[in-house]
């Protein structure tokens, strides 16, 4: 059955509209990436304090490293789904489009998105616990023990663990994009992890038209002007199909929509 969405939303699907797409685990779950919460979430099988905290890595670096190696191998076999591809199409179509994601799996990049604010880091990146040096390691199979940085420090997964701050400046950049957008999509997120969960409310407070796309209503659904229930891999491609043929680069300042 075709997705029913409002004439207001259709009117905003034009290149001058400033757009923010905010994604969570639900969009990648449709590709087969395990989520952390829910009936089959990873935290039902593994203990967060043993695998996703700085204390866990300090106490058992090999065990933590192996678990992230297992996750990388799993994700490496998974492909972006139609929702990821639709988000990449939005970026190419809208003159101002920003993707803000809580996901660390890299599927948005593989789908073609380039302007990405990664709130929780990147599982394909490593970071030195001593000097802070960042690097990218795209190997599918990782050593069983954490490798060392050139400085001699231990390299750890480049993700945000429980109890850690978000990467410097990333959330601030996300808020800046949200405050200036005219159309805000919240896709596949439970809106239960802060500070990211604040973004739908920030968008609405600053005048954006807020659209939630989810299997079920999230904790922030009351902030949405429009809630589209269903799979992101079905809904977002239908929205993308309504985009006009005008390339984003042809928009003019006179017609720019907030």
Can you give the pLDDT of all 258 residues of the chain as single tens digits? Answer: 678 889 999 999 999 999 999 999 999 999 999 875 554 444 445 566 678 899 999 988 888 888 888 888 889 999 999 999 999 999 999 999 999 999 999 999 999 999 999 999 999 998 999 998 887 765 655 556 777 888 889 889 999 998 899 988 999 999 999 999 999 999 999 999 899 999 999 999 999 999 999 999 999 999 999 999 999 999 999 999 988 654 444 443 333 456
Cis peptide leading into 26, omega within 30 of 0?
no
Homologous superfamily of 42-77+125-159: SIR2/SIRT2 'Small Domain' (3.30.1600.10)
Residues of the chain with CATH 3.40.50.1220: 7-32+80-120+166-255
Helices (H), the chain: 7-12, 25-29, 48-51, 54-59, 61-76, 82-93, 107-111, 170-179, 199-205, 232-241
Is the separation of the CB atoms in 127 and 48 below 8 Å? no
Domain 7-32+80-120+166-255: which CATH class? alpha beta
Distance CA 256, CA 158 (A): 37
Residues of the chain with CATH 3.30.1600.10: 42-77+125-159
The structure's pTM equals 0.89
Catalytic positions, please? 120
Two structure tokens written together for 214:
């989810």
């Amino acid at each position: 059955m075709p997705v029913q969405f409002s004439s207001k939303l259709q009117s905003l699907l034009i290149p001058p509209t400033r757009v923010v797409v905010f994604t969570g685990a639900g969009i990648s779950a449709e590709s087969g990436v395990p989520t952390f919460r829910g009936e089959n979430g990873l935290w039902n099988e593994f203990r967060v304090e043993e695998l996703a905290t700085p204390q866990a890595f300090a106490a058992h670096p090999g065990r933590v490293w192996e678990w992230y190696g297992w996750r990388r191998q799993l994700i490496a076999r998974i492909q972006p789904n139609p929702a990821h591809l639709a988000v990449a199409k939005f970026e190419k179509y809208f003159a101002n489009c920003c993707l803000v994601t809580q996901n660390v799996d890299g599927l948005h990049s593989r789908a073609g998105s380039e302007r990405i604010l990664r709130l929780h880091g990147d599982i394909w990146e490593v970071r030195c616990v001593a000097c802070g040096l960042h690097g990218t390691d795209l190997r599918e199979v990782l050593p069983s023990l954490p490798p060392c940085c050139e400085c001699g420090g231990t390299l750890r997964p480049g993700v945000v663990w429980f109890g850690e701050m978000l990467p410097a400046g990333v959330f601030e950049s996300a808020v800046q994009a949200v405050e200036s957008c005219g159309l805000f999509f919240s896709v596949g997120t439970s809106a239960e992890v802060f500070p990211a969960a604040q973004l739908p409310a920030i968008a609405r407070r600053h005048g954006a038209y807020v659209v939630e796309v989810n299997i079920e209503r999230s904790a922030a659904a009351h902030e949405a002007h429009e809630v589209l229930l269903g799979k992101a891999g079905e809904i977002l491609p239908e929205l993308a199909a309504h985009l006009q043929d005008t390339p984003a680069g042809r928009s003019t300042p006179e017609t720019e929509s907030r």
